[in-house]
Amino acid sequence: MKKIPFNQPHMGGKELFYIAQAHINGKLAGDGPYTKRCHTWLETTTRCDKALLTHSCTAALEMAALLLDIQPGDEIIMPSYTFVSTANAFALRGGIPVFVDIREDTLNLDERLIEAAITPRTRAIVPVHYAGVACEMDTIMEIAQRHNLKVVEDAAQGVMATYKGRALGSIGDLGTYSFHETKNVISGEGGALLVNRPEYAEAAEIIREKGTNRSQFYRGQVDKYTWQSIGSSFLPGELIAAFLWAQLEEAEQITKTRLENWSRYHAMLEPFEAKGMLRRPIVPEHCQHNAHMYYVLVESLNERQRILERLRQNGIDAVFHYVPLHSSPAGLRYGRTHGSLAVTESQANRLIRLPLWLGMTEADQQQVTRACAAFQIREGNFVEAV
């Protein structure tokens, strides 16, 4: 029986060559030639105003909270069904995450529930594009405009995905990407901040360079650099940027291959969905996703545990996903909920992520789908499905 890991970080081939080049260039700190190449690529591909590499998407979210000048007591509307950093970045500044329920179909922040959660203290909305499938950005931007709120897109999973033809992360005031090894395009740890409003560009550079105007100094715009505001060290070194550059060069091919694997799962699981055994992902017409994730929703928490166990017995490493933040130990210490989070709780309990990585074969995927749907126990009865 072949072991199938949940994820295998992909290397295209040029990563180590570019790292060697960076060393030969003799510049290993941040903002060297490879970082600049990555910035230009991101700016061209996403059409954002300014892209800045960071250590992680977490770091980019923390920069966003600083840029928006989040103050203690400010409220930030976001899903509970997300990664810790979405909330933690704002909680670090004393902001209060306000958790709103998600949509049943895409598992994204339910835009129909946002307006009721707005109070005089609300400062921002943070939509998270789950699995690289876009939130309803037109509605979210319209609500934000009407209430004078900022929008930070957590597009950690959204590299190379679009909403009505626009790159995820380029639609809100700010957007954040992750290049963590579990994402599509990787540098081990890594991320980027996309700045979509020119008025934030200079402040973002300063925050990223320890609160100094060192970037302007390097461009010869000032004759010395000094402490300008609070900030931190958010920029990665050139070795990371060199690795990432090799991945960005290949980003289109990576996405294409992942989409092929994704579609194969989708076709293989169609008959099981037709029998009512599971639900496959739903991608709205106007969203081009990036095959970041393939998941299925099963009937109950209990059934999920049994299927995960069965997958493990078949050598397959499948996993569940977020523990909703409002039900985590820190969730309600730093944040609060607005309204029912019934959809969040239900989907979080029933979701299984299947292995998806470059190099998976059709046979691998067959092994996964068979083990996943071979039998289920419902109301005490075995249901043979294949």
Ligand X SMILES: *Cc1c(COP(=O)(O)O)cnc(C)c1O
Kindly list the residues in this chain that would bind ligand X in the complex (CB under 6 A).
Answer: 56-58, 82-83, 85-86, 128, 154, 156-157, 178, 180, 191
C-beta of 180 vs 214, nearer to ligand X: 180
Exposure of 129 in the CB half-sphere (CA atoms within 13 A): 38
Kindly state the smallest distance separating residue 16's Cβ from ligand X, in Å. 22
C-beta of 32 vs 79, nearer to ligand X: 79
Kindly state the smallest distance separating residue 206's Cβ from ligand X, in Å. 21
C-beta of 86 vs 215, nearer to ligand X: 86
- The SS3 call for residue 381 is strand
Instruction: Give the catalytic positions in this structure.
Output: 183
C-beta of 57 vs 109, nearer to ligand X: 57
C-beta of 22 vs 63, nearer to ligand X: 63
Kindly state the smallest distance separating residue 114's Cβ from ligand X, in Å. 18
C-beta of 57 vs 151, nearer to ligand X: 57
Sheet strands (E) in the chain? 50-54, 75-79, 96-100, 122-125, 150-154, 162-163, 166-167, 174-178, 191-195, 287-288, 294-297, 336-337, 351-354, 375-378, 381-384
Kindly state the smallest distance separating residue 190's Cβ from ligand X, in Å. 7
Q: Which residues pair with residue 286 across a beta bridge? A: none
Place of tokens 């909703």: 324
- Return left, alpha or beta for 180; rule: phi > 0 is left, psi -120 to 50 is alpha, else beta: beta
Place of tokens 């069965």: 310
Residues sharing a CB contact under 8 Å with residue 176, sequence separation 6 or more, in sequence order: 57, 60, 61, 64, 152, 153, 154, 155, 156, 169, 191, 192, 193, 194
C-beta of 85 vs 106, nearer to ligand X: 85
Q: Identify the burial level of 294 via C-beta atoms within 10 angstroms of its C-beta, where 0-12 means exposed, 13-18 middle and 19 or more buried.
A: buried
Question: From CA 291, how far away is CA 258, in angstroms rounded?
Answer: 6
CB 123 within 8 A of CB 75: yes
Kindly state the smallest distance separating residue 292's Cβ from ligand X, in Å. 8
CB 204 within 8 A of CB 193: yes
Helix (H) or strand (E) holding 254: helix 251-274
Kindly state the smallest distance separating residue 334's Cβ from ligand X, in Å. 16
Structure tokens at 311: 């997958």
Query: Nearest to residue 208, comparing CAs of 34, 38, 33, 53?
Result: 53
Structure tokens at 320: 């569940």
Kindly state the smallest distance separating residue 128's Cβ from ligand X, in Å. 5
